[in-house]
């Protein structure tokens, strides 16, 4: 028996010991698949064994179940603070230009030290944070998201606004009672139309919230096999504004939300065409010095690996699309843009001076209805449009 | 986990404040099993850092409303930093429910 079969037996053993199979929904589908393969006979010929072996060893759900159990053993332990923020998600990768697939995983890890000012109205903090994240495919040529990074951020975060009136004890008691009255309403339309909301929001007098983070950043970026890598250091500003009161003019400035406000109105989700101030986008801008430590493509084009300056712009947006019957659908989007400043003409001719990547999706609670991605990130060399609609295909 | 009942002000005030913040449109009864990833702020396409930044904004506003509007006080041994971090830790876990978040509120605030 070769080593793959020992690994197969090990997976069987660990699954059997670690998980009561009848309670693991992700394993049920696998059991059904195995049963279908075994249905034609009692003996297990080599070919069927290999089929089952491949089925098990390439099923990301098994590894996620196992990892989930390992993770649960240390995530809530205070003495495991370095490990508890490690997130691993096994998945199947599909190459951009083929139907071949590879098992792999994405990983995220961070560790942070923050010093908050603890008084009610001094709301800022010093933050030092180390993060590592990326995607690893066991067959590296089938990794369409081959971008790994490890970085250190040191900076400050804080808020301006985002406050409400401080009420006296009598009003506080009234507000608590109103909430209990609202909680007793069981019809969503009746709840949405209740005049009691006005009583609360009038007393609160919500101010717009402005949230910022300014930090110095430094780190490493590269491919999973380290064939291409670069060091970066620079500074970034992250900013998000929110108007939680519809009456605040800032909400009306959320132009991204107007098409969705119209859809919400048409579908009866909202009574009027009102953009959400709570759905204003999050924006990050940064300037990085990039030192390509290993980049054969760049070296071949420019003849050197001199450091360069890169501008970065990233934005994220999510809003309510519609709420129909019991299904609530959201529209999600993210845009990332990287541009080399004063790039050499050879770099511009090779179209390596800027990279942009847009992705969006429509999702409900535990599923998605549609997703679309287009563009490239640093180290990607081609644009790829990827649509997903229950199944995935590439253009 | 906090018992999801309208007699528990941690549950009611959390549900009401997130409703006003346009994070959901559910009745109190239906909101118990609402997951964090169903709230308006939880954009699955954000990076971990970006999502945590958005969650910190939600948590900071909740903290202020709990204290200023509903008269909440921190439990013994809890301060703003601990309470807000506790909220953020729950908010960024997509599969945690409103009841889980209410438990965090119940642990850290006394209404």
Q: Is residue A305 part of a domain?
A: yes
Strands A282-294 and A87-94: unpaired
Burial class from Cβ neighbours inside 10 Å (0-12, 13-18, 19+) for residue A75 reads: middle
Residues 87-106 of B with CB under 8 A from A: none
pLDDT at A53: 73
Per-residue pLDDT tens digits for A115-140: 766 555 557 788 888 989 888 888 88
Mutate to test the interface with A, among B71, B78, B88, B97 (most CBs of A within 10 A): B71
Of the listed ranges A232-241, A289-298, A375-384, the one predicted with least confidence:
A375-384
Please report the residues numbered 52 through 71 in chain A whose beta carbons come closer than 8 angstroms to any beta carbon of chain B. none
A314 lies within 8 A of chain B by CB = yes
Question: How confident is the prediction for chain B on average, in pLDDT?
Answer: 94
Question: Does A389 reside within a domain?
Answer: yes
Asked if A303 and A366 sit in the same domain, the reply is yes
Q: Give a yes or no: residue A174 inside a domain.
A: no
CB contact under 8 A, A164 and B69: yes
The ipTM assigned to this model is 0.95
Q: Would you say residue B82 lies in a domain? A: yes
Residue A98, in any domain of the structure:
no
B73 close to A (CB below 8 A): no
Would A152 be classed as within a structural domain?
Answer: yes
Q: Collapsing DSSP states into helix, strand and coil, what is residue A118?
A: coil
For A167-191, write each residue's pLDDT tens digit.
999 999 999 999 999 999 999 999 9
User: Looking at beta carbons, which residues of chain A come within 8 Å of B23?
Assistant: 278
Q: Answer yes or no: is pLDDT of A326 > 70.
A: yes
pLDDT higher for B64 or A28? B64
Comparison of pLDDT for A92 and A155, the residue scoring more: A155
Query: Which chain B residues are within 8 Å of A153, Cβ to Cβ?
Result: 49
> A318 and B69: CB-CB below 8 Å?
no
Number of domains into which chain B is organized = 1
The total of other beta-carbon atoms located within 10 Å of residue A367's CB is: 10
Q: Tell me, yes or no, whether B15 lies in a domain.
A: yes
Who wins on pLDDT, A142 or A10? A142
Range scoring the smallest mean pLDDT among A5-14, A281-290, A345-354, B82-91:
A5-14
**A197: closest chain B residue by CA:** B20
**Residue B69 near residue A175 (C-beta atoms within 8 A):** yes
- pLDDT tens per residue, range A66-104: 888 887 777 666 666 677 778 888 888 776 666 777 888
Q: What percentage of chain B has pLDDT greater than the value 70?
A: 98
Q: CB distance from B74 to chain A under 8 Å?
A: no
Q: Which of A84, A99, A128 is the last residue of a domain?
A: A84
Measured between CB atoms, which of A164, A197, A332 is closest to B45? A332
Residue A182 lies in a domain: no
Position A112 in a domain: no
pLDDT of the residue at A99: 72
Residue B32 covered by a domain: yes
What's the mean pLDDT in B84-91?
A: 94
A253 with A395, same domain: the answer is: yes
Q: Quick check: A278 pLDDT over 60? A: yes
Residue B78 has pLDDT above 90, yes or no: yes
Window 9-38 of B: residues touching A by CB (8 A cutoff) are 9, 12-13, 15-16, 19-30, 35, 37-38
pLDDT at A369 over 90: no
Q: Which among B25, B47, B79 has CB closest to A192?
A: B25
Q: Are residues A54 and A127 in the same domain?
A: no
For chain A, how many structural domains are there in total?
Answer: 2
Q: Is residue A180 part of a domain?
A: no
Q: Which two tokens stand for residue B22?
A: 């346009």
How far A345 CA lies from chain B's nearest CA (Å)? 32
Min Cα distance B1 → chain A (Å) is 15
Provide the mean pLDDT of chain A. Answer: 81
Structural domain for B77, as ranges:
9-110
Residue in A123, A278, A361 nearest the CB of B60: A123
Q: Are residues A213 and A302 in the same domain?
A: yes
B32 to chain A: nearest residue by CA? A183
Q: Is the pLDDT of residue B2 over 70?
A: no
Give the model's pLDDT for residue A138.
86
Q: Kindly state the helix (H) or strand (E) to which residue A285 belongs, with its residue range.
A: strand A282-294
Asked whether residue B91 is domain-assigned, the answer is yes
Q: Mapping DSSP to helix (H, G, I), strand (E, B) and coil, where does residue A74 land?
A: helix
Same domain, A128 and A71: no
B2 in any annotated domain: no
Closest chain A CA to residue B10: A176
For residue A167, the model assigns a pLDDT of 95
Domain residues for the domain of A367 are: 120-164+206-395
What angle, 0 to 180 degrees and rounded to 10, lies between the N-to-C axes of helices B48-68 and B80-91?
130
> Are residues A210 and A259 located together in one domain of the fold?
yes
The answer on A132 and A234 residing in a single domain is yes
Distance CA A85, CA A133 (A): 12
DSSP of A194-207, one letter per residue? -THHHHHHHHH-PP
Report chain A residues whose CB lies below 8 A from the CB of B85: 114
Residue pLDDT, tens place only, A192-209? 999 999 999 999 999 999
């Amino acid at each position: 028996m070769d080593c793959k079969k020992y690994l197969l037996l090990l997976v069987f053993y660990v699954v059997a010991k670690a998980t009561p199979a009848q309670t693991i929904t992700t394993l049920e589908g696998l059991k059904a698949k195995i049963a279908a393969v075994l249905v034609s006979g009692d003996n297990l010929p080599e070919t069927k064994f290999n089929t089952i072996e491949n089925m098990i060893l390439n099923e990301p759900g098994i590894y996620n179940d196992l990892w989930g159990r390992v993770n649960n053993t240390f995530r809530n332990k205070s003495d495991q603070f370095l490990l508890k923020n490690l997130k691993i998600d096994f998945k199947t990768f599909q190459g951009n230009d083929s139907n071949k697939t590879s098992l792999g995983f994405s990983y995220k890890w961070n560790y942070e030290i923050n010093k908050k000012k603890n008084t009610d109205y001094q709301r800022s903090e010093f933050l030092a944070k180390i993060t590592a994240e990326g995607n690893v495919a066991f067959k590296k040529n089938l990794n369409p998201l081959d971008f790994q990074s490890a970085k250190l951020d040191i900076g400050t975060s804080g808020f301006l606004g985002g406050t409400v009136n401080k009420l006296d004890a009598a009003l506080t008691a009234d507000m608590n009672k109103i909430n209990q009255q609202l909680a007793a309403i069981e019809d969503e339309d009746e709840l949405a139309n209740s005049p009691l909301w006005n009583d609360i929001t009038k007393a609160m007098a919500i101010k717009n919230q402005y949230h910022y983070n300014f930090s110095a950043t430094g780190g490493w970026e590269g491919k999973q096999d380290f064939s291409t890598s670069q060091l970066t250091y620079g500074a970034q500003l992250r900013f998000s504004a929110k108007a939680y009161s519809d009456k605040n003019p800032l909400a009306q400035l959320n132009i991204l939300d107007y098409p969705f406000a119209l859809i919400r109105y048409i579908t009866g989700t909202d009574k009027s065409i009102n953009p959400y101030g709570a759905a204003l986008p999050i924006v990050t801008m940064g300037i990085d010095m990039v030192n390509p430590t290993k980049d054969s493509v760049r070296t071949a084009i420019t003849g050197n690996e001199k450091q360069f300056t890169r501008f970065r712009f990233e934005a994220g947006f999510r809003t309510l699309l519609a709420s129909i019957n019991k299904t609530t659908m959201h529209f999600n989007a993210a845009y990332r843009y990287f541009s080399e400043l004063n790039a050499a003409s050879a770099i511009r001719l090779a179209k390596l001076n800027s990279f942009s990547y847009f992705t969006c999706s429509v999702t409900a609670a535990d599923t998605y209805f549609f997703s679309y991605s287009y563009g490239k990130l640093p180290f990607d060399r081609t644009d790829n449009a990827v649509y997903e609609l229950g199944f995935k295909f590439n253009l | 986990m906090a018992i999801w009942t309208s007699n528990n002000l941690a549950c009611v005030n959390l549900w009401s404040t997130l409703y006003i913040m346009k994070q959901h449109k559910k009745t109190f009864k239906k909101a118990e099993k609402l997951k964090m990833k169903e709230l308006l702020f939880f954009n699955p396409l954000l990076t971990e850092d970006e999502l945590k930044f958005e969650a910190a904004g939600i948590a900071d506003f909740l903290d202020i409303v709990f204290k200023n509007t509903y008269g909440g006080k921190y439990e013994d041994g809890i301060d703003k930093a601990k309470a807000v971090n506790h909220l953020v830790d729950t908010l960024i876990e997509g599969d945690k429910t409103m009841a889980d978040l209410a438990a965090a509120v119940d642990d850290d605030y006394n209404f």
